[in-house]
Structure 1
Amino acid sequence: MTGPTAPRSTEPDSTAGWAPTPALARAVLLAGLLLVAGVLLGRIDLIVLAAPFALGTAYALRRRPTALPQVWITPGDDVPLVEGGEVAATVSVGNPDTVDYDLMVVRSRVSPWLRITRAGFAGPVPADAAKSGGEPAGGAGRSAVDRPFVTSVPVAAVVDLELAGRALRWGRHPVGPAGARVAAAGGLLVSRAVLTEPAEVRVYPRTEPFDAVEAMPRAAGLVGAHHSRRPGEGGELAGVRIFAPGDRLRRIDWRVSLRARQLHVAATLSDRDAEVVVLLDVLAEAGRSGGVGGAASVLDTTVRATAAIAEHYLHRGDRVSLLEYGPGARRLRPAAGRRQYLTVLEWLLDVRAEAAQHEPYDQVFGPQMLSSDALVVVLTPLLDERSAQMLARLARSGRFVVAVDTLPADLTPPKDRGWAEVAYRLWRLDRDTMIGQLREHGVPVVRWAGAGSLDQVLRDVARLATAPRVGSR
């Protein structure tokens, strides 16, 4: 979450921004009419009747306000907020003037993905003000901030409107803008509306359970948790060989050495790290997002699956990088560790679906941008033919590619009459044919299903990577 939005500055010695209310106009008009009538008609009773209105108005205006209220928004605690978590924010209104604000009306907008269920003033609130809007709103499905809140603000005091609820979806969601108007001098003067800029609440995607127990196709780093094909220091036994200068004594296999009457050592495979490139296809969006616990759109599945895959491989010590297949071509450099995972979550907050008029392949995959040993996991709904062409080109370049289908399984056909349903069925058949052609080109296509989604695919890819290659003469 970001910090509080700074209140707008006001000039304390200026009366600009204050206007008379209809109550002041009625009081002046009534007192003036009674005084004029009493003088013209020579009636003392009319003058006596006008005296309370004139004296009351003069007494209320004896101390006129000079400063406008200050409004700012403060998000909740600066802790990582995940989908489904509790969100909190505070809209504060301060009184920098030397007179009390008899009445203050404050209202704030909130992103629809932040369901505010509780809203009320903090601290002691006058009883009449609480009846006017200090309690949460009722009604099912209605946000607690869909109405104004009313209270009073004493001199040099701050009134906090506390908002609490639940974050429904990942992304950057605004709290605000918020505005306040106050009345002073017994309700005879009212200020203009003072607005403040919205504050940003960052909601990270919920990590879906994911685990892949299969080895990487090619582990080429220096250290890591995967068994490479290269001999070295590790825990996986590769065989027994004759002792050579530089071998450690603890590696000597005494049983084989006594039987062969020559020193032999146990050879092991080195543990290496791997690079995982997660490619996000953002050319199209489909489905309707229902937030956490509801239906998932293409972007929802893509973002949550990316967070899960990145968390899994970063936890194992691998290097993870992110790419966007779209006109923006955003990129996150490969790195490892917890800092990279937090960077991944921050990077995912700005994922947006953007249509591209031209083929973005050359823009995304520049020269030497992808390592030949990297595992490329492509999250795509396969709604655009350019996505299939991109997968085929990656496979023909010799890279290890796994395509994850992010199209919602419960995508409903159109309800229009006529040829809409038939066109939908034909599109489905064409998409299934395209997936079959990708598999014929050596691109495995699997549907995202959380834990174990990529186990079988990674097993096949690792088997192909270790298989001997036949060279042509």
Structure 2
Amino acid sequence: MDERAEPAHGWAPTWALGRAVLLTGVLLVAAVLLGRIDLVVLATPFALGTAYGLRRRPATQPELELSVTDTHLVEGSPMAATVAVANPDLIGYDVAVVRTRMSPWLRVEQVGFGGAGLDVSRSGADRPFVTSVPRGSAVDLELTGTALRWGRHPFGPAGVRVAAADGLLVSRAVITAPIRARVYPRTEPFDAVEAMPRAAGLVGAHRSRRPGEGGELAGVRVFAPGDRLRRIDWRVSLRARQLHVAATLSDRDAEVVVLLDVLAEAGRSGGVRGPASVLDTTVRAAAAIAEHYLHRGDRVALLEYGPAARRLRPATGRRQYLTVLEWLLDVHAESSPHEPYDQVFGPQVLSSDALVVVLTPLLDERSAQMLARLARGGRFVVAVDTLPAELPVPKERGWAEVAYRLWRLDRDTMIGQLREHGVPVVRWAGAGSLDEVLRDVSRLAMAPRVGLR
């Protein structure tokens, strides 16, 4: 079949064209059968109007382009997107109906053609917008708003249908593929001023117990071969009539492993300005902790405690921080009846000198058992409670007030047992959340260990 036999390359007649042709035909047939000239006169305007509208038919389909000003956003930052409708034909489009889908976490507040903004914060952006497109030109539908929550959120797909020839022809729907916008978590303020439990690297900003070149004074001792001359303490040397040098402790970097418990989710996310769910707190706290320690020159690794058991190898620098943010975008809760893969916590993955920060809501008994195993294995473990403090009673799941209180008491008992096993548990509260706990862990690390023979 010849493609030129199709109606104007994808253009189809509208109901208006069908009614005009039908009415003209009925009037002409009635005029012939009844011999009435007035019916011919009555049908003439419809016939001439239809012929005039179809005198020039569109030959090509409209073009639609979807673009986002910035596909790398941060929670709470403004976003801007554009849906461009282009008319490559020599015939102007009388009406163009544009519609696009948006993720609920990309809130559109202003929509307009050519800068004329319309407030859609209440009605929503998932509605049709109508405009006309002159020949050989393009019209932009501009959407501005706010990115509310971290993750990979789709913008689109977008579609457009246009009518031409005075509304007698309509094009088929032109649909574009969606664009994925990356919204990174907003890092909450966090600053741990305490020393690391055990710094093990060669260079860094933490004080270690090993003598070497550093800025922390360890004492004064007698000069020995190999000591640097700039380390000589002349006051002590003149008083003792023997060369003495100032001994220092080496500055070491540390390895921080942020372990994310993704076995369960609780609470309802309200975006960056609303209430935080367990995953919201977990992801934002992980980003803040990683940013802090990477800024200090430490090595940071990420692990998931869940069925997928994803892992990000330890590294330093800004490149690692960007990798951490990308890695966190794919975090999601996944419940599984099977035991999570414990091989990811082996000695090949977790260094004996690493500080393990476990972000967990402690909603599953397996999470508490995992913390106890890490503590018994000699790891330096800090558990950060990510469960919302004001978690409402899940009445939609059939929970009663009394059952919820009993569950809270049982959970508090489990946290007490973890502390008895030497696992400090602290609630995430932004700046200084881990200072007190790190101080206690550092003291335990400094204490001598008793070995069994």
Distance of 2:40 and 2:393 partners within structure 1? 79
Match of 1:195 among 158, 163, 175: 175
Name the amino acid aligned to 1:82: V
1:98 corresponds to 2:90: yes
Residue aligned with 1:27, SS? helix
Corresponding residue number in structure 2 for 1:379: 359
User: Displacement, 1:351?
Assistant: 0.6
Tell me if the contact between 1:329 and 1:363 (Cα under 8 Å) persists in the aligned partners.
no
Residue aligned with 2:297, SS? coil
Corresponding residue number in structure 1 for 2:220: 240
- For the aligned residues, what is the CA RMSD? 2.0
Match of 1:46 among 39, 43, 49: 39
Structure 2 unmatched runs, 5+: none
User: Displacement, 1:249?
Assistant: 1.1
User: Displacement, 1:64?
Assistant: 1.4
Match of 2:127 among 147, 156, 165: 147
Residue aligned with 2:381, SS? strand
Equivalence map 1:63-462=2 (5 Å): 63-77=56-70, 80-122=72-114, 135-137=117-119, 141-143=122-124, 145-415=125-395, 420-462=400-442
User: Displacement, 1:72?
Assistant: 2.3
Structure 1 unmatched runs, 5+: 1-9, 124-133
Corresponding residue number in structure 2 for 1:4: none
User: Displacement, 1:137?
Assistant: 4.4
Match of 2:26 among 29, 33, 38: 33
Distance of 2:224 and 2:396 partners within structure 1? 77
Q: Deviations over 1:51-73 (max 9, x none)?
A: 22112211211221222222221
Tell me if the contact between 1:214 and 1:455 (Cα under 8 Å) persists in the aligned partners.
yes
Corresponding residue number in structure 2 for 1:128: none
Cα distance change on mapping 1:363 and 1:245 into 2, 3 Å: closer
Distance of 2:399 and 2:266 partners within structure 1? 20
User: Displacement, 1:317?
Assistant: 0.5
User: Displacement, 1:364?
Assistant: 3.0
| Residue range with higher mean Cα deviation, 353-362 or 207-216 | 353-362
Distance of 2:123 and 2:202 partners within structure 1? 56
Distance of 2:63 and 2:399 partners within structure 1? 59
User: Displacement, 1:367?
Assistant: 5.0
Tell me if the contact between 1:14 and 1:67 (Cα under 8 Å) persists in the aligned partners.
no
Question: TM-score scaled by structure 2?
Answer: 0.95
Tell me if the contact between 1:14 and 1:66 (Cα under 8 Å) persists in the aligned partners.
no
Q: Deviations over 1:19-57 (max 9, x none)?
A: 211110111112112222223333333223322211221
User: Displacement, 1:415?
Assistant: 4.2
User: Displacement, 1:429?
Assistant: 1.3
Name the amino acid aligned to 2:307: P
Distance of 1:414 and 1:393 partners within structure 2? 31
User: Displacement, 1:77?
Assistant: 3.1
Distance of 2:42 and 2:170 partners within structure 1? 27
Distance of 1:419 and 1:470 partners within structure 2? 48
Residue aligned with 1:408, SS? coil
Cα distance change on mapping 1:366 and 1:122 into 2, 3 Å: farther
Q: How many residue pairs were aligned? A: 450
Name the amino acid aligned to 1:64: R
Question: TM-score scaled by structure 1?
Answer: 0.91
Name the amino acid aligned to 2:118: P
Tell me if the contact between 1:405 and 1:447 (Cα under 8 Å) persists in the aligned partners.
yes
Distance of 1:464 and 1:23 partners within structure 2? 84
Q: Deviations over 1:386-441 (max 9, x none)?
A: 00010011111111000000000001124479972222111111111111111111
Distance of 1:464 and 1:396 partners within structure 2? 14
Cα distance change on mapping 1:167 and 1:92 into 2, 3 Å: same
Distance of 1:344 and 1:287 partners within structure 2? 24
Name the amino acid aligned to 2:133: V
Q: Percent identity at matched positions?
A: 80
Tell me if the contact between 2:213 and 2:250 (Cα under 8 Å) persists in the aligned partners.
yes
Distance of 1:294 and 1:364 partners within structure 2? 34
User: Displacement, 1:246?
Assistant: 2.1
Distance of 2:39 and 2:370 partners within structure 1? 91
Q: Deviations over 1:194-220 (max 9, x none)?
A: 211111111111110101000001111
Q: Deviations over 1:236-287 (max 9, x none)?
A: 0011111122221111001111122111110111111000000000000001
Residue aligned with 1:378, SS? strand
